[in-house]
Amino acid sequence: MSVLLLTHRDCLRHDMGEGHPECPDRLRAVLQALDQEEFADLVRDEAPEATPQQLEYAHPPDYVRAILGIRPQGEERVALDGDTLMNAGSVPAALRAAGAAVRAVDEVCQGLVRRAFCATRPPGHHAEVRRPMGFCLFANAVIAARHAQRAHGIERVAICDFDVHHGNGTEACVADDPSILFASSHQMPLYPGTGDPGFTGCGNVFNAALSPGAGTDAFRAAWTPLIAAIEGFRPGLVVVSAGFDAHARDPLAQLRLRESDFAWITAELCALSDRVCGGRIVSLLEGGYDLDALAGSAAAHVRALLRS
């Protein structure tokens, strides 16, 4: 079966200012990379907006109302923290990013496509239960996982995060939820300062810390036990937080991965999903801030989703 690509032009309207690394050009680079003949088999569609009720799968109603109520006018921007801002396009973009996650789950769980990739922004894995941070407003991966449980009866979901920064928001949302497993590789020390391998939540959190300068061998060695833990969990769906900022060219971290490493982890997760849940994968774009490295890495990821 095919792979679904979800995106929306609203995600280009979210703009945190000149020089900000999480910029609209990131999404343009990804979409341009996927607008090639080798990706002609992708099923392409527009991301819908998430409903407030769907956002509440990860966040309390008062938080959802507060974020959706921030509507800057004109060129105004509102700073939520030192590096997370909102402009007039931020709410529509965030609704599309979460909505893409929900729609992807629907399509995959209904068997209409085998896998899905959501090329959207803002990212989501730093958004905590009651706090936006790290360029993120809503915890999109958690929303996807809980939508699968509520709407499709999936009992257990695994969230796999290979972004170079630890997904503290995802972890905070699910650390006390034994029905969702969170597995992450990330550089340590690095923002946001979480991700200690000693923290295991309620037995559902698996963190693998990589030292600055670590490359292919360390990355692949870190994921071997994580994949074994996920397989033992027997999830009905795998959600991927696909960040590409562990690439050697990325300016915000110091890992040394290449496009081939992202192809490898994607193929491994596809093989895992084939063994445990009928191949069902929903992948969400997270970080990646060198435009050429991001484009090449995202293409390698989607190529593996198609071919594995």
Positions marked active-site:
126
Q: Across the chain, where does the E strand assignment appear?
A: 3-7, 43-46, 78-79, 85-86, 115-118, 157-161, 180-187, 205-210, 237-242, 281-285
Q: Which residues contact 15 (CB under 8 A, 6 or more apart)?
A: 23, 24, 87, 89
- Amino acid at residue number 302: V
Q: Is residue 298 exposed (0-12), middle (13-18) or buried (19+ Cβ within 10 Å)? A: buried
Q: Which residues contact 31 (CB under 8 A, 6 or more apart)?
A: 7, 119
Cβ(174)–Cβ(180) under 8 Å?
yes
Strand partners, 78: 86
Cβ(44)–Cβ(5) under 8 Å?
yes
Report the distance separating Cα 196 and Cα 264, nearest Å. Answer: 24
